[in-house]
Structure 1
Amino acid sequence: MPVPSHEWIVLATLAASLVLFITDALRYDVIAGLVVVVLAATRVLSPEQAFAGFADPAVVLIGSMYVFGRAVNRWGIATAIAHRLLASKDGRRGPAAEAPLAAKVTAVSGLLSSVLSNTGVVATLIPVLSSLGRRLDVPVSRLLMPLSFGSLLGGLITLIGTSTNLAINRVIEREGIEPFGLFEFSHLGLILLAVGTLYFVWPGRNLLPRRRVDETLSEHYQVPKFVSEVLVEASSSLAGLTVAEIDAVARHGIAVIGIVRKDGDGPQAGPLLAPGPNRRIHSDDVLIVQGDPDAILGLRQELGLRERPSIDVDGLHLDSGDVQLVEGVVPAGSDLVGRSLAESEFRASTGLNVLAISQHAMLLPSKLREARLEVGDTLLMQGHQRDIERMRRSRRLLLLGELEPPSIGSGALITVGILALVLAVSAVGWMPLSVAALAGALALVLSGCVRPDEAREAVDLSVLFLVGGMLALGTAFHSSGLDDRVANLLLSLGSGFTEPRAIIALLLLATVALTQLTTNVTAGIIMAQVAIEVARELSYDPRALLLAVIAGASMAFMSPVAHQANTMVVGPGDYRFKDFLKVGTPLTAIVCTVLIVILPWLWPLRAAVQ
């Protein structure tokens, strides 16, 4: 049977988008935009159909929930709850504290993710777990993967748990099927979260890597390799200039992170760390410079500077008193993503020196100022306490280290009350969820819980663009008949078996595989269309099949790039790709087995679709 031209166009568009997603050649929102343009330009969809996804109620709902996430973070609600629930009260430390703490991390992150964005929950809890890990002598690598996986499982507890749930629900509604209610599959999500929690109590915990034990920040980031000291002799052209006036320093990509100065005739009392741009250099000063060794050599040769044997660059020399070394993680939604330190004018805008960057758990060897930052990158920074605290409040980076339990802000009760009201109004059917959520977001702004500028900044437009674009692709997938072809292909691969668990297994495994390769939104929307067609072919109630797709799209456990929640923990956890395969594959197998067993029992498949 020949394939119509529209099917070829949709198939080619899908294949090209998958390649771009897998290779990370373009940002996923750009890929989604290209998909919409291609489908509209080739007349597979009318302009109205192609752009309808961007005005879809699911997009409005997702954007509104981002505003709630900002309010929860602003008033310290999630952080305070996490501190109180995760803090150890039995005095156990080290290995003895790992099992209960890993279990609590999985459960708490899952429960918070049931009503908040999972990437937002991970961003909130990374600093909390960094602080708790240090206090309890538990390596953070033993905690951050349970955090990420728990947040993914928690997204299955409610309809608003993930943007994927909402996008799939819109596909269901468009097909004339009754959409899922807010808490309709909560019992399933709680069962799967319990499975994940038990997994990290014993088998999964034994698979987690144990890294960064008894290691200083300087040792971990190999600071001594990139720090040197040069003497400013009386004849040097640098004498009398300010730090900002040394053009050669910026040209070579080098940072002046300290000045050792003689105090009269006596010995120097200690280095002046993190000198400001207006600090003037004197003759006989020793500059502590940081950068690629070849760049430092080039600077010395250009300015005729003499290297001085280094004093001590083990970390104690680079932080003292008001100046500290601190790690920061690039979160999803940060304005630093996709930009270099030079482009963002990081030093000038933050007052912090970046001493090292770890990308994909590998230290960048050189040209730190030119490297484009990605979600999950960790930066080792040096700066004054006031600048560090300003960065902590801005959340452009998630700062690790000691973090005191915050006091819940005055707007916390209002925020929680508005969120509870939105959920209640939607649950009883008084108002569509998208309308209730938008009303709630506006109430947060009007009540002063979130400023208008904060509300705008909170919304991740790239996610909204992705959802809108993939809804258009889902529409084209259905209108071209490709969903029917794929459904028949899956049924043929199942050798004609129509036993409910075999069908569920096929859809579940196909969705899980696609999720590891592309975004969970893309995998969920495409496979939801296929699940609906499979149900129609077999005259099944589609609910169990659709839940298999929803669950499969959240099982991004086997790759650090399958979900932004995973990507964000790679740097601070020092994880490698193989760690996700090692820990995530058994969990995926266990959760899939549980789903295959219980889904036909909770949602029988034999009821015919009306």
Structure 2
Amino acid sequence: MFGLAVPAEMQPWAAIAIMLLMFLAFMWEKFPVEVVAIVGAAALVVTGVLPTDGVLDVFSNSAPWTIVAMLILVGALVRTGGLDFIGGYAARHVQERPRLTLGLICAGIVATSAFVNNTPIVVVMLPVFIQLSRQMSVAPSKLMIPLSYLTLLGGCVTLIGTSTNLVVAGVAADAGLEPFHIFEMSPVGIPVAIAGMLYLALLGPKLLPERKSMTDFLTDRSRMRYFTEVVIPEESNLVGREVLGVQLFQREGVRLIDVIRGDASLRRDFEHVTLQAGDRVVLRTAMTELLTLQRDKSLRRVDQLSSVPTSTVEALIAADCRMVGRRLGDLRLRRRYGVYPLAVHRRDKNFGSQLDDVVIRPGDTLLLEGASEDIQRLAQDMNLVDIAHPTQRAYRRNHAPIVIAVMATVVLLSAFEVAPIEILAFLGVAVVLVTGCIDSDEAFGFIDGQLLAMLFAMLAVGEGLEQSGRWS
């Protein structure tokens, strides 16, 4: 194609070279995974390793479309409050019997993960596990890490437990192998899940890291509740002084957040900032300290502009977060949302400086401060998960029995081999849409476009490797 096709005898080596470059790009993490996968698949097509007919065959693979249908069904379950029942039960009993509640929740998470996508389960249970850690006086990391493992263990029990199972089943079917049944892996998956739960219960507390909440990254004096913005007038005695040398901004109960000059934020280089007339200084204070500052006669040359109540939250970066792969500085959170990133946590390490250069990855935790409505707007735009305050929304609880019945019917009919799982899931989507369990725009919002792009691209790469003859 395009006159760039390599000779047939060189195609296996071309395929290997492209794969090695893809692995390097995955490790480099300069580009998102789906971008690397698409570019790799395109390179195989351009070099003639993957014929155009092979590309079209990839889109006929049933696995990605089954995943789409299951994501919509799970979205309907979330929208109707079906998953909220587990979180509600835990919240009601966590204070009375925290350890018994934890055990029952863990078993329920494994069982639910066998049929439901992992992400919504984690989102629902994160606030509950935070509360459990406080009740049991243990570090949140010793409970939150097992939460992730439990959903993975449950996903290994059935064919629909996780998207990777469906991908393997689809590839196997395309290769002419006998299709996997929904419970075919259960005889192995159930013992593995039980063994994993026992391992986490017995050895997890000893092996898992003990990391407190990221709010401990802040000192007590910095846990404030108000942003206060003041302007430096021309006649102010603060003009010409270094911002870090101003005693006013170093008082107990006052924290310097930012200096805004024109439209530029200078908070990354406070050591070299000299105050000028017209500079806006953003402080974080408690209400009592704010009132004290307003009455202090030494502040008569500093005009109060605004005071906005704020909160500090921890936000989890999920795989579908729109921040993934981007520099924190490029997101311009302060200018776009009025939200300040205070720290980033990654793999037992906190970043509190040079945040602009941090490239966001799945699994990162951001410590953010801002007005509640601004943080909520940021969370909705970027698909952030607030692990301390779950998003409140109106559930369509009257439709929950319909979704549960649809899910159960899909599982049972698939178990009895009445029809292929992809057909049953597709029919289930039609039912939840026509009955109003979830609106169409909401349903398609649960589809992870990046995941689908990556799956199709990697399936194309696999087809190219097979076509090259190297792996046949």
TM-score > 0.5, shorter chain as reference = yes
Q: Which amino acid aligns with 2:207?
A: L
Q: Is 1:289 aligned to 2:258, yes or no?
A: yes
Task: Tell me, in whole angstroms, the C-alpha distance in 2 between the residues paired with 1:143 and 1:69.
Answer: 24
1:398 and 2:372 correspond: no
Contact 2:114 2:160 in 1 (8 A): yes
2:95 & 2:330 partners in 1: Cα distance? 48
SS in 2 for 1:468: helix
Q: Which residue of 2 aligns with 1:115?
A: 115
Q: Indicate the residue corresponding to 2:67 in structure 1.
A: 62
Q: Look up the equivalent residue of 2:388 and give its one-letter code.
A: G
Correspondence list, 1:71-90, <5 A = 71-85=76-90, 88=93
Which shows bigger deviation, 228-237 or 354-363? 228-237
Match among 50, 67, 70 for residue 55 of structure 2: 50
| Conserved 8 A contact 1:105-1:146 | no
Which amino acid in the other structure matches residue 196 of structure 1?
G
SS at match of 2:218: helix
Aligned amino acid, residue 91 of structure 1: E
Superposed counterparts of 1:111-510, under 5 Å: 111-212=111-212, 216=216, 218-219=218-219, 232-233=232-233, 235=235, 289=258, 295-303=269-277, 323-340=310-327, 343-344=330-331, 346-347=333-334, 350-366=337-353, 368=355, 371-388=358-375, 396-401=383-388, 409-410=396-397, 411-483=399-471
Give the direction of change, closer, same or farther, for the CA distance of 1:421–1:287 in structure 2 (3 Å limit). Answer: same
Letter in 2 for 1:146: P
Q: Letter of the 1:134 partner, please give it.
A: R
Q: Secondary structure at the match of 1:429?
A: coil
The alignment partner of 2:134 has SS state of helix
Give distance in 2, aligned partners of 1:379 and 1:441: 35
Distance 1:388 1:80 in 2: 26
Alignment of 1:489-568 (within 5 A): none
Q: Go from structure 1 to structure 2 and tell me whether the alpha carbon gap of 1:62 and 1:387 turns closer, same or farther (over 3 Å shift).
A: same
Structure 1 residue 67 displacement after superposition: 1.5
Cα deviation digits, residues 461-494 of structure 1 (max 9, x gap): 221122222222333333444335xxxxxxxxxx
Work out which of the residue numbers 13, 19, 23 in structure 1 matches 2:18. Answer: 13
Residue 453 of structure 2 aligns to a residue in which SS?
A: helix
Cα 1:396/1:139, change in 2 over 3 Å: same
Give the conservation status (yes or no) of the 8 Å contact 2:63–2:166: yes
Structure 1 residues 215, 473: CA separation in 2 closer, same or farther (over 3 Å shift)?
Answer: closer
State the 1:231 CA deviation.
Answer: 7.5
- What do the CA deviations read for 1:358-417 (whole angstroms, capped 9, x no partner)? 345444344545644332222222233444555667772111225599996423222222
Classify 1:298/1:215 alpha carbon distance in 2 versus 1 (closer, same or farther; 3 Å).
closer
Distance 1:78 1:459 in 2: 18
Q: Counterpart of 1:460 in structure 2: which amino acid?
A: D
Distance in 2 separating the partners of 1:288 and 1:476: 53
Amino acid at match of 2:430: L
Aligned length: 431
Match of 2:42 in 1: 37
- CA separation of 1:75 and 1:394: change in aligned 2, threshold 3 A: farther
Q: Distance in 1 between matches of 2:62 and 2:327?
A: 35
C-alpha contact 2:316 2:364 (8 A) present in aligned 1: yes
RMSD: 4.2
- Counterpart CA distance in 2 for 1:404 and 1:38 is 42
In structure 2, the residue matched to 1:522 is: none
2:380 & 2:279 partners in 1: Cα distance?
A: 39
Q: Is the 8 A contact 2:71 2:117 kept in 1?
A: yes
Distance 1:385 1:20, change over 3 A: closer
Contact 2:232/2:277 (8 A) holds in 1: no
Equivalent-residue separation in structure 2 for 1:157 and 1:121 (angstroms): 16
Name the SS for the 1:30 alignment partner. helix
Displacement of 1:10 = 2.4
The alpha carbon displacement at 1:201 in A equals 1.4
Q: CA deviation at 1:171?
A: 1.9
CA distance in 2, matches of 1:25, 1:214: 26
Q: Which amino acid aligns with 2:141?
A: S
Residues 19 and 386 (structure 1), Cα distance of their counterparts in 2 relative to 1, 3 Å cut: closer
- CA-to-partner distance for each residue in 1:483-511, whole Å, 9 max, x for gaps? 35xxxxxxxxxxxxxxxxxxxxxxxxxxx
Is the 8 Å Cα contact of residues 119 and 332 (structure 1) preserved in structure 2? no
Structure 2 CA distance for aligned equivalents of residues 452 and 237 of structure 1: 60
Structure-2 change in CA distance of 1:430 and 1:161 (3 Å)? same
1:54-81, Cα deviation, whole Å (9 max, x unpaired): 3321111111222223223333322331
Q: Is the 8 A contact 2:214 2:314 kept in 1?
A: no
Instruction: After TM superposition, give the deviation of residue 237 of structure 1 in Å.
Output: 12
Report the CA distance between 1:148 and its aligned residue: 1.2
Task: Tell me how far apart the structure 1 counterparts of residues 350 and 424 of structure 2 sit (CA, whole Å).
Answer: 46
After superposing the two structures, state which structure 1 stretch, 112-121 or 101-110, moved more: 101-110
**Structure 2: how far apart are the matches of 1:87 and 1:146?**
21
Answer yes or no: is the 8 Å Cα contact 2:118–2:162 preserved in 1: yes
Could you say if the C-alpha distance between residues 315 and 118 of structure 1 is closer, same or farther in structure 2, counting changes exceeding 3 Å?
farther
